[in-house]
């Protein structure tokens, strides 16, 4: 499946990094464990699973040397453990774990156990892993506990192994994005990066599960409206069949930069993810949970909160980073859809993949 850049779609003004993903920030890794099964309902089987776990590692030694971090909430109908302490202290000391809503507890428990295995001192201090969720119950049988500790461990191991890769990570219907929907199409995991004129790299990771099909916008072109009638009522009939039920949605966004930005600056970076989503058609519905977190690998702290060095990027110097976050977020959202095929899940529910050929035709017709 093609990414947006593979189709020649250019979002914004800044150039992408080497892989156009969060992996372009040195030391960052991304891994997935995808849970797909079609079994009878219990007790004969485990039901229909379209879910998983995604793990982003900002730095392997984050427990000893936390990363400056900050967050922002565009609409709060969602959950992210560890978000309050990260905002209070301005730091991040665990990987970021993504999963589906009703699997959050399982992933949190597994993350705690794995942290205790890796860092025995956690038992003498404490740890609050960052675990964020979106609701995949349209395609996934959320009544069943589908995720196991091994899934969390395998995704984490894959994230560590991916650091320094020369190609983008898997996107679309993988890991935590397996059962997600975006703007009436199949959504999931998407990522992109940008390099500022000063040479700083900004990577964005999204788990997309938001929006109405009629509002889908690609590089400024109202693709959702052009796909069919009914846009005035907030619904459309796309090429190839009916859209199915729209989703109120949610989106988890994680920003990582190698610029030396403190916790307050990271919170400002995180807030800009919402602008990128708006460019694709998000209006942050009442029932959606748009929760964003940003961290910096270019400035480190110790366990007592003392900063190693000092913040070099603040005030107006953040402007290029703001632009990078917005552009990378917009492209990451498009990648999450373009990299996802049509998927059928529980009860025969189906979510159509966004057809890249149709998208390219519409973009050409509008001078892109």
pLDDT at 100 over 60: yes
**In Å, what is the CA distance from 334 to each residue of 6, 245, 248, 330, 357?**
12, 20, 18, 7, 14
The CATH number of the domain where 302 resides is what?
3.60.70.12
Confidence of residue 246 (pLDDT cuts 50, 70, 90): low
Strands of the sheet with 80-81, listed across from one edge: 29-38, 48-57, 96-100, 130-134, 80-81
> Does residue 63 sit within a domain?
yes
The residues facing 70 across adjacent strands are 294
* Tokens coding 213: 């099909």
pLDDT at residue 273 greater than cutoff 90: yes
In a domain? residue 296: yes
145-178 pLDDT, tens digit each: 999 999 999 999 999 999 999 999 999 999 999 9
In DSSP terms, which residues pair with 250 in a beta bridge? Answer: 209, 289
b or e along 195-215 (b: 16 or more beta carbons within 10 Å of the residue's beta carbon)?
Answer: bbeeebbbbbbbbbbbbbbbb
Tell me: pLDDT of 77 over 50: yes
pLDDT over threshold 50, residue 237: no
Is 9 inside any structural domain? Answer: no
Residues in CB range of 212: below 8 A, 6 or more apart: 183, 184, 224, 234, 235, 246, 281
Q: What is the DSSP string of 112-162?
A: HHHHHHH-GGGGGS----EEEEE--TTTS-TTS----HHHHHHHHHHHHHH
β pairing state of 130-134 and 96-100: parallel
Q: To which H or E segment does residue 91 belong?
A: strand 91-92
Residue with tokens 């560890």: 82
pLDDT of residue 248: 62
Residues contacting 75, CB < 8 A, separation 6+: 284, 285, 286, 288, 289, 290
Q: Considering the chain, what is the average pLDDT of its residues?
A: 93
The residue written with tokens 């196991």 in the block is: 148
Q: Which of 290, 327, 330, 352 is labelled catalytic? A: 290
Q: Indicate the number of domains in the chain.
A: 1
Catalytic annotation on 290? yes
Please indicate, yes or no, if residue 222 is contained in any of the structural domains: no
Query: Are 91 and 58 contacting, i.e. CB atoms less than 8 angstroms apart?
Result: no
Does 51 reside within a domain? yes
Candidates 288, 296, 336, 340; catalytic one: 288
| Angle at CA of residue 344, ends 340 and 347, nearest 5° | 150
Q: Is 100 a catalytic residue?
A: no
Q: Is residue 4 part of a domain?
A: no
| Alpha-carbon torsion angle 181, 185, 191, 195, nearest 10 | -140
Given a contact cutoff of 8 angstroms between Cβ atoms, the answer to whether 129 and 108 are in contact is yes
The pTM (predicted TM-score) of the whole model is: 0.94
Catalytic member of 250, 282, 296, 329 = 250
Q: Is 148 exposed, middle or buried (0-12, 13-18, 19+ CB in 10 A)?
A: middle
Let me know if residue 6 belongs to a domain: no
Nearest Cα to Cα of residue 325 among 270, 265, 278 = 270
Q: Strand 181-182 and strand 130-134: pairing?
A: unpaired
In a domain, 255, yes or no: yes
Q: What is the pLDDT of residue 303?
A: 85
Residue 288 among the catalytic residues: yes
Q: What is the pLDDT of residues 9-67, one digit of tens each?
A: 999 999 999 999 999 999 999 999 999 999 998 888 889 999 999 999 999 999 999 99
Angular region, 149: left φ>0, alpha ψ -120 to 50, beta rest: alpha
pLDDT of 306 higher than 50: yes
Q: Is the pLDDT of residue 331 over 60?
A: yes
**Which residues span the domain enclosing 276?**
14-211+247-342
Average pLDDT over residues 70-94: 96
Q: How confident is the model at residue 318 (pLDDT cuts 50, 70, 90)?
A: very high
């Amino acid at each position: 499946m093609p990414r947006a850049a593979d189709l020649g779609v250019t979002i914004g003004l800044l150039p992408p990094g080497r892989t156009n993903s969060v992996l372009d920030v040195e030391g960052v890794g991304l891994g997935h464990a995808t849970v797909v099964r079609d079994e009878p309902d219990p007790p004969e089987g485990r039901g229909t699973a379209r879910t998983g776990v995604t793990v982003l590692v900002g730095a392997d030694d984050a427990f000893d040397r936390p990363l400056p971090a900050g967050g922002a909430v565009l609409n709060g109908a969602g959950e992210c453990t560890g978000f309050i302490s990260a905002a209070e202290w301005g730091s991040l000391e665990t990987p970021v774990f993504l999963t589906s809503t009703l699997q959050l507890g399982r992933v949190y428990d597994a993350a705690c156990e794995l942290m205790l295995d890796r860092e025995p001192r956690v038992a003498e201090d404490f740890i609050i892993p960052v675990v964020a969720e979106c609701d995949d119950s349209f395609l996934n049988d959320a009544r069943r506990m589908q995720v196991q500790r091994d899934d969390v461990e395998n995704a984490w191991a894959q994230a560590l192994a991916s650091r320094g890769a020369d190609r983008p990570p898997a996107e679309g219907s993988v890991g935590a994005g397996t059962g997600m929907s975006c703007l009436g199409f199949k959504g999931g995991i998407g990522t992109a990066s940008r390099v500022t004129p000063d040479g700083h790299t900004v990577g964005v990771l999204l788990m997309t599960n938001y929006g109405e099909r009629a509002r889908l916008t690609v590089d400024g072109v109202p693709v959702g409206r052009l796909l069919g009638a009914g846009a005035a009522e907030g619904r459309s009939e796309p090429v190839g069949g009916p859209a199915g039920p729209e989703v109120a949605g949610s989106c988890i966004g994680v920003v990582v930069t190698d610029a030396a930005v403190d916790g307050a600056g990271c919170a400002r970076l995180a807030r800009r993810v919402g602008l990128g989503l708006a460019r694709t058609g998000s209006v942050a519905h009442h029932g959606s949970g748009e929760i964003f977190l940003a961290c910096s690998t270019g400035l480190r702290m110790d366990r007592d909160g003392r900063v190693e060095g000092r913040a070099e990027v603040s005030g107006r110097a953040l402007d290029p980073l703001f632009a990078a976050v917005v552009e990378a977020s917009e492209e990451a959202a498009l990648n999450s859809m373009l990299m996802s095929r049509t998927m059928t899940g529980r009860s025969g529910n189906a979510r159509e993949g966004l057809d890249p050929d149709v998208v390219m035709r519409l973009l050409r017709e509008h001078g892109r």
